[in-house]
């Protein structure tokens, strides 16, 4: 191991202010909707008003005659385009406007382009369609729905669950349901597409610009090198930006056909049907245990909603296979095709739902056994991955429980339901475990040190608010031995070295390892230059025996014998020196360890009005093992943000589909409720554990684990407060009356 | 593809109702000829290039477009541009003083009161007005009176901390 790598680093890195903060607080950070190009026209979408059937005829004449209208695309005149790639997340969405078939309410059926946004919007309302409607399937449990069995090949069967269930001293059977949720980042998704000949430049709300580039190239049959996708600031994603959606392709298609740059900004209602949502589902849990709380059986099955076409990765039950030590386990996930818009991963996909069921069931088991819920989890803790017997690369879950219980004051809890009260408020304490396995993909980065001694590091990643700009600059500054203000990290441009998506809690680790590699190679290049120079104090010093401090490379422990980047470049008459780095996800079998994701323990106090059923979250303590934390401030914000998302999911969020028409009945921010400031108490966040042993940076990713466990902790606290076991999300006050 | 070629040569279109409007934004007057349907939000963004004010819903439900009209916070998406004539419009671009950022902006950075940053201009415009309204007296009050500004990233506790600090330092006196 080189000395650069082996320098001792703290678990929790300094809470540095975001480097992009000044732009964000002054309104100068440019989001996709903020870009304009000369001569641009404006697009507006027309969406279907039936959920199933076909279009018999489009009526576009009135729209075409409306003021300012440049053109109207429908399936009758739109050019056929290719479908995008099959990525690690699955197949791309079907191409837009390719036939007369309608598979969900709110499907794009026309695209109107006009000189101004007002004209485009007004003309879009003039487009009419004659339909031949068929009866839509809208109920997840409709027996007519086609089921996809084990769609991800992740179903588990271990041991003999039937025999173990028959012999278990205590058994439990429960059904849990979770609602459709909609990502709803505050930034409306926007696309601005401009062609110059066969070259396409696109500003797009995306968490994965290189994938959008590939998709556009395949759509229009042009080389990837002819497409550039830019997204320096995203405006929130939460998963909605992980695909090249039909409206993106449509905007580029219109720009090509009409020979004008075209800009489209989705409306808030369109955000409910155009960019995915968290799918609803039903989960069936069967648990068998000994009387002293040893888990013998976990049988976790799910049915998850899916659209008629397209696909979604959402294995609700999968983590039950490794969350606890349990010899007999079945996990099975099924998807049901119904006439809804396609779901897509939303912050903590699968875990948000699966963990709600599992951790609620464990609370129920704890009550059945008369055992403390923390104690039950301690008894079933596992330090090895039950799937393969390998030790985890890092798992400080026991510390999470211990620290969390202490900070929360768990010992003050009287376990009897309805036993704690503050005036008319019933007080409840609940807890849950959380885990989120990170999803890493190959990444590349390029690092340059310039003649003035400053560094520029680049990769085609995005910063969706997680702090990528900041933590990558911090990592590069650390590796290069430069002050942070001498390092700039650029991202959001598909022309830069390839990056994985900002998703799956994997970017910080995977990209961090690529940045780490690029910087190490760059230092090595500098050292090798100096090594050969008679005049250099580094002459003859082996490249592995150096470290970098204050812009100077020097032998380990001897800063007096160093030479600066500036001096080395000047002597060799170079304006800059560049190195490329890359990373690949570690392979468990090579490591001899199973890759641990982030872990956490969540402790929640709720208050329920005894008469009105009003539910308030009063306190949340989140203790997180996120491996090495690069920036205490931004990482804490990730946990806070996940917690707020979890509160929203548990108390409010419910995308309501009309059971007859398939129309989303609450597709506005006035009707689809999310947590607001007054819904959120002070949140306590603590990081514990050690740098993860799986990769060089030691991070695990903290973007999603903050949300996981909040729902069951609240539901368990509600049971403690009221004696009512709520197995359905969201928990609305009518359930508590 | 020829079916959707340019239709700009077609006559017989109903006239658009337009109006000349003078908007005073951050102390500077701008005279614009506008479709009467144009909101203050779209006039700021699309006509004046002041894109710091954000469109999050266009329905008055998210607060991302919060600006000040004569010092009071309003939703620019629910205000027609023509309604703002003759009034002092302040946007996020007008909040920073000559001597740098407003204390609320500094406090947002220090307390990490944002993540993706999209709602942030609206949050800051609300926060500045909230202090002027005398509504930053307690955390509970700040939470309540900031609840018209959604933050989907969930930065609320940090937003409260930032406003608490800015209010305690008398940030409302800083030039607004």
Mean pLDDT rounded to a whole number for chain B: 90
Which member of B91, B152, B157 has the closest CB to residue A683? B157
Instruction: Report which of A547, A551, A542 is spatially closest to residue A569, judged by C-alpha positions.
Output: A551
Which of A13, A24, A264 is most worth mutating to test chain B (most B CB atoms within 10 A of its CB)?
A: A24
Give the residue carrying structure tokens 């620290």. Answer: A403
Q: Is A622 a domain residue?
A: yes
Task: Give chain B positions within 8 Å (CB) of A685.
Answer: none
A112 sits in which H/E element: strand A108-114
Q: So what's the pLDDT on residue B22? A: 97
Q: What is the residue range of A637's domain?
A: 388-437+597-736
Q: How far is CA A413 from CA A74, A429, A721, B9, in A?
A: 62, 7, 11, 76
Which of B115, B159, B174 is most worth mutating to test chain A (most A CB atoms within 10 A of its CB)?
A: B115
Q: So what's the pLDDT on residue B15? A: 55
Q: What angle (nearest 5°) sits at the alpha carbon of residue A387, between those of residues A386 and A390?
A: 70
Which member of A30, A122, A186 has the closest CB to residue B64? A186
A475 sits in which H/E element: helix A468-480
Q: So what's the pLDDT on residue B17? A: 84
Judge if A451 and A533 occupy the same domain: yes
Q: How far apart are CA B173 and CA B167, in angstroms?
A: 10
Transcribe A647-688 into DSSP letters.
HHHHHT---PBPTTT--BTT-STTTS----GGG---EEEEE-
3-state class (DSSP) for residue A420: strand
B100 by Cβ neighbours in 10 Å (0-12 / 13-18 / 19+) ranks as exposed
Task: Give chain B positions within 8 Å (CB) of A677.
Answer: 142-144, 146-147, 149, 151, 156, 159-160
Q: How far apart are CA A649 and CA A732, in angstroms?
A: 11
Chain B residue closest in CA terms to A672: B61
Judge if A525 and A622 occupy the same domain: no
Q: How many CA atoms lie within 13 A of A588 on its CB side?
A: 16
pLDDT tens digit string along B54-79? Answer: 999 999 999 999 999 999 999 999 99
Pick the CATH number of B103-173 from 1.10.150.170, 3.90.1150.10, 1.10.287.130, 1.10.150.120: 1.10.150.120
CATH topology assigned to domain B16-92 = Ubiquitin-like (UB roll) (3.10.20)
Judge if A448 and A428 occupy the same domain: no
Task: Give chain B positions within 8 Å (CB) of A125.
Answer: none
Q: How far apart are CA A615 and CA A736, in angstroms?
A: 8
Helices and strands in chain B: count of H runs, count of E runs: 5, 5
Chain A residue closest in CA terms to B54: A187
DSSP A3: H
- The two three-digit tokens of residue A167, written as one number: 């012999």
Q: Is A55 a domain residue?
A: no
Q: How far is CA A417 from CA A710, A721, B90, in A?
A: 19, 6, 53
Judge if A531 and A571 occupy the same domain: yes
Q: What angle (nearest 5°) sits at the alpha carbon of residue A129, between those of residues A126 and A133?
A: 145
What's A542's domain CATH number? 3.30.365.10
- The two three-digit tokens of residue A216, written as one number: 């556009």
Report CB contact under 8 Å: B156, A669: no
Which member of A186, A636, A680 has the closest CB to residue B152? A186
Judge if A524 and A456 occupy the same domain: yes
Q: Is A273 a domain residue?
A: no
Judge if A637 and A502 occupy the same domain: no
Q: What angle (nearest 5°) sits at the alpha carbon of residue A622, between those of residues A618 and A627?
A: 165
Report CB contact under 8 Å: A268, B59: yes
Q: In A501-631, which residue ranges form alpha helices assigned H by DSSP?
A: 507-531, 565-571, 588-591
Chain A residue closest in CA terms to B8: A70
- The two three-digit tokens of residue A142, written as one number: 């409709």
pLDDT tens digit string along B97-140? Answer: 777 899 999 999 999 999 999 999 999 999 999 999 999 999 99
Report CB contact under 8 Å: A118, B8: no
Q: How far is CA A598 from CA A298, A433, A461, A688, A703, in A?
A: 22, 11, 21, 11, 10
Q: Is A66 a domain residue?
A: no
Q: How far apart are CA A309 and CA A95, in angstroms?
A: 11
Judge if A460 and A542 occupy the same domain: yes
Task: Give chain B positions within 8 Å (CB) of A622.
Answer: none
3-state class (DSSP) for residue A598: strand
Q: What total number of domains does chain A contain?
A: 2
Chain A residue closest in CA terms to B118: A235
Task: Give chain A positions within 8 Å (CB) of B159.
Answer: 677
Low-confidence ranges of chain A (pLDDT < 50): 1-7
Instruction: Report which of A22, A62, A653, A631 is spatially closest to residue B52, judged by C-alpha positions.
Output: A22
pLDDT tens digit string along A96-146? Answer: 999 999 999 999 999 999 999 999 999 999 999 999 999 999 999 999 999
Q: So what's the pLDDT on residue A2? A: 34
Judge if A467 and A574 occupy the same domain: yes
Chain A residue closest in CA terms to B4: A71
Which of B110, B118, B119 is most worth mutating to test chain A (most A CB atoms within 10 A of its CB)?
A: B118
Distance from the A483 Cα atom to the nearest Cα atom in chain B, whole angstroms: 19
Distance from the B86 Cα atom to the nearest Cα atom in chain A, whole angstroms: 24
Report CB contact under 8 Å: A184, B152: yes
Chain A residue closest in CA terms to B146: A677
Q: B144 near B170, Cβ under 8 Å?
A: no
Report CB contact under 8 Å: B153, A22: no
A64 is known as an active-site residue? no
Judge if A562 and A604 occupy the same domain: no
Report CB contact under 8 Å: B152, A18: no
Q: Is A480 a domain residue?
A: yes
B105 sits in which H/E element: helix B103-110
Q: In A259-350, which residue ranges form alpha helices assigned H by DSSP?
A: 268-274
Q: Is A485 a domain residue?
A: yes
**Which pairs from A519-522 meet CB under 8 Å and 24+ separation?**
A519/A447, A519/A457, A519/A475, A519/A476, A519/A479, A519/A480, A519/A579, A519/A581, A520/A2, A520/A4, A520/A5, A520/A479, A520/A581, A521/A447, A521/A579, A521/A580, A521/A581, A522/A447, A522/A448, A522/A449, A522/A480, A522/A577, A522/A578, A522/A579
Distance from the B137 Cα atom to the nearest Cα atom in chain A, whole angstroms: 15
Which of B91, B101, B152 is most worth mutating to test chain A (most A CB atoms within 10 A of its CB)?
A: B152
Which member of A238, A634, A677 has the closest CB to residue B160? A677
Judge if A462 and A569 occupy the same domain: yes
Q: So what's the pLDDT on residue B10? A: 45
Task: Give chain A positions within 8 Å (CB) of B92.
Answer: 26-27
Q: Is A710 a domain residue?
A: yes
**Cβ within 8 Å of residue A519, ≥6 positions away:** A447, A457, A475, A476, A479, A480, A579, A581
Name the active-site residue from A351, A359, A563, A704: A704
Q: How far apart are CA A41 and CA A191, in angstroms?
A: 12
Chain A residue closest in CA terms to B38: A118
- Domain boundary (A539, A559, A584) is at A584
Q: So what's the pLDDT on residue B14? A: 53
Judge if A451 and A545 occupy the same domain: yes
What ipTM was assigned to the predicted interfaces of this complex?
Answer: 0.97
Q: So what's the pLDDT on residue A14? A: 84
Q: How far apart are CA B143 and CA B58, in angstroms?
A: 23
- The two three-digit tokens of residue B24, written as one number: 């005073």
Transcribe A201-249 into DSSP letters.
EEEE--S-HHHHHHHHHHHHT--GGGEEEE-S-----TTTTSS--HHHH
- The two three-digit tokens of residue A514, written as one number: 């690529």
Q: How far apart are CA A146 and CA B34, in angstroms?
A: 52
Q: How far apart are CA B131 and CA B149, in angstroms?
A: 15
Judge if A630 and A672 occupy the same domain: yes
Which of B2, B5, B7, B144 is most worth mutating to test chain A (most A CB atoms within 10 A of its CB)?
A: B7
Instruction: Report which of A298, A393, A339, A301 is spatially closest to residue A662, judged by C-alpha positions.
Output: A339
Q: Is A494 a domain residue?
A: yes
The per-residue b/e assignment along A576-611, b for 16 or more CB within 10 angstroms, e otherwise, is ebebebbbebbebeeeebbbbbbbbbbbbbbbbbbe
- Domain boundary (A528, A555, A584) is at A584
Distance from the B168 Cα atom to the nearest Cα atom in chain A, whole angstroms: 18
Listed by start position, the domains of chain B span 16-92, 103-173
Report CB contact under 8 Å: B92, A26: yes
Report CB contact under 8 Å: A21, B109: yes
Report CB contact under 8 Å: B154, A643: yes
- Tell me the count of A-B CB pairs closer than 8 A: 223
Q: So what's the pLDDT on residue B2? A: 38
Task: Give chain B positions within 8 Å (CB) of A674.
Answer: 150, 152
- Domain boundary (A538, A560, A584) is at A584
């Amino acid at each position: 191991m080189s000395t650069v790598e082996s320098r001792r680093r703290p678990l929790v890195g300094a809470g540095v202010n975001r480097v992009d903060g000044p732009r964000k607080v002054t309104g100068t950070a440019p989001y996709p909707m903020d870009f304009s190009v000369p001569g641009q026209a404006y697009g507006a979408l027309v969406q279907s008003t039936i959920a199933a059937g076909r279009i018999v005829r489009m009526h576009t004449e009135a729209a075409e005659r409306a003021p300012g209208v440049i053109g109207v695309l429908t399936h009758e005149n739109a050019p056929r385009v290719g479908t995008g790639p099959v990525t690690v997340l699955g197949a791309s969405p079907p191409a837009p406007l390719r036939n007369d078939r309608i598979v969900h309410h709110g499907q794009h059926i026309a695209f109107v382009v006009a000189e101004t946004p007002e004209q485009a919007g007004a003309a879009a309302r003039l487009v009419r369609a004659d339909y031949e409607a068929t009866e839509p399937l809208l109920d997840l449990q409709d027996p007519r729905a086609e089921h996809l069995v084990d769609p991800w090949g992740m179903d588990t069967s271990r041991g003999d669950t039937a025999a173990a269930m028959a012999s278990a001293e205590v058994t439990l059977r429960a059904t849990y349901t979770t609602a459709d949720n909609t990502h709803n980042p505050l930034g409306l998704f926007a696309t601005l597409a401009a062609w110059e000949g066969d070259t396409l430049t696109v500003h797009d709300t995306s968490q994965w610009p290189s994938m959008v580039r590939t998709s556009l190239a395949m759509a229009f049959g042009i080389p990837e090198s002819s497409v550039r996708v830019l997204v320096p600031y995203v405006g929130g994603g939460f998963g909605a930006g992980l695909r090249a959606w039909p409206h993106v392709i449509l905007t580029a298609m219109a720009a090509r056909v009409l020979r004008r740059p075209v800009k489209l900004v989705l409306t808030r209602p369109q955000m409910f049907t155009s960019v995915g949502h968290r799918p609803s589902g039903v989960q069936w849990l069967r648990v068998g245990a000994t009387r002293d709380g040893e888990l013998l059986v976990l049988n976790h099955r799910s049915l998850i909603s899916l659209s008629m076409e397209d696909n979604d990765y959402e294995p609700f039950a999968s983590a039950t296979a490794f969350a606890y030590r349990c010899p007999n386990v079945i996990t099975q996930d099924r998807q049901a095709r119904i006439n809804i818009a396609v779901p897509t991963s939303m912050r903590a996909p699968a875990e948000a739902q699966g963990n709600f069921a599992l951790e609620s069931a464990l609370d129920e088991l704890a009550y059945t056994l008369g055992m403390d819920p923390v104690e039950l989890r301690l008894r079933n803790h596992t330090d090895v991955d039950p799937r393969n017997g390998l030790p985890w690369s890092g798992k400080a879950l026991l510390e999470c429980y211990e620290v969390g219980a202490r900070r929360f004051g768990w010992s003050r809890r009287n376990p009897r339901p309805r036993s704690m009260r503050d005036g008319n408020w019933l007080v409840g304490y609940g807890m849950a475990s959380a885990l989120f396995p990170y999803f890493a993909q190959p990444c590349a980065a390029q690092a340059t040190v310039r003649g003035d001694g400053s560094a520029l590091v680049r990769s085609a990643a995005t910063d969706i608010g997680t702090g990528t700009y900041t933590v990558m600059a911090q990592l590069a500054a650390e590796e290069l031995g430069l002050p942070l203000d001498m390092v700039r990290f650029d991202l959001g441009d598909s022309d830069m070295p390839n990056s994985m998506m900002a998703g799956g809690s994997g970017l910080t680790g995977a990209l961090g390892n690529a940045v780490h590699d690029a910087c190490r190679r760059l230092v090595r290049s500098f050292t090798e230059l100096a090594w050969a120079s008679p005049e250099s104090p580094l002459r003859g010093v082996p490249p592995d025996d150096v470290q970098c401090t204050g812009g100077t490379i020097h032998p380990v422990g001897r800063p007096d014998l160093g030479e600066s980047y500036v001096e080395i470049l000047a002597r060799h008459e170079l304006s800059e020196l560049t190195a490329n780095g890359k990373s690949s996800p570690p392979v468990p079998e090579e490591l001899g360890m199973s890759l641990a994701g982030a872990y956490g323990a969540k402790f929640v106090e709720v208050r329920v009005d005894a008469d009105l059923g009003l539910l308030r979250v009063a306190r949340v303590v989140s203790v997180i093992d996120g491996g090495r934390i690069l920036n205490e401030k931004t990482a804490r914000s990730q946990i806070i943000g996940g917690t707020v998302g979890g509160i929203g999911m548990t108390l409010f969020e419910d995308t309501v589909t009309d059971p007859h028409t398939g129309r989303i009945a609450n597709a506005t921010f006035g009707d689809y409720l999310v947590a607001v400031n007054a819904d959120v108490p002070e949140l306590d966040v603590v990081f514990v554990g050690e740098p993860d042993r799986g990769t060089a940076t030691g991070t695990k990713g903290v973007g999603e684990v903050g949300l996981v466990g909040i729902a069951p902790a609240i539901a368990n606290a509600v049971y403690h407060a009221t004696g009512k076991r709520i197995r359905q999300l969201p928990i609305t006050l009518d359930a508590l009356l | 593809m020829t079916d959707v070629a340019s239709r700009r040569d077609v006559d017989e279109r109903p006239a658009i109702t337009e109006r000349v409007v003078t908007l005073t934004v951050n102390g500077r007057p701008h005279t614009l000829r506008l479709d009467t349907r144009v909101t203050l939000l779209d006039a700021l963004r699309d006509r004046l290039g002041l894109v710091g004010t954000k469109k999050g819903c266009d329905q008055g439900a998210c607060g991302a477009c919060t600006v000040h009209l004569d010092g009071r916070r309003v939703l620019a998406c629910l205000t027609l541009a023509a309604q703002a004539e003759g009034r002092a419009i302040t946007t996020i671009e007008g909040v920073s003083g000559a001597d740098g950022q407003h204390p609320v902006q500094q406090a947002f950075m220090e307390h990490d009161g944002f993540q993706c940053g999209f709602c942030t201009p609206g949050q800051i415009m609300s926060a500045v007005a909230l202090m002027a309204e005398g509504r930053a007296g307690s955390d509970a009050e700040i939470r309540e009176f900031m609840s018209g500004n959604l933050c989907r990233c969930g930065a609320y506790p940090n937003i409260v901390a930032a406003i608490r600090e800015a209010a305690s330092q008398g940030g409302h006196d800083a030039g607004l």
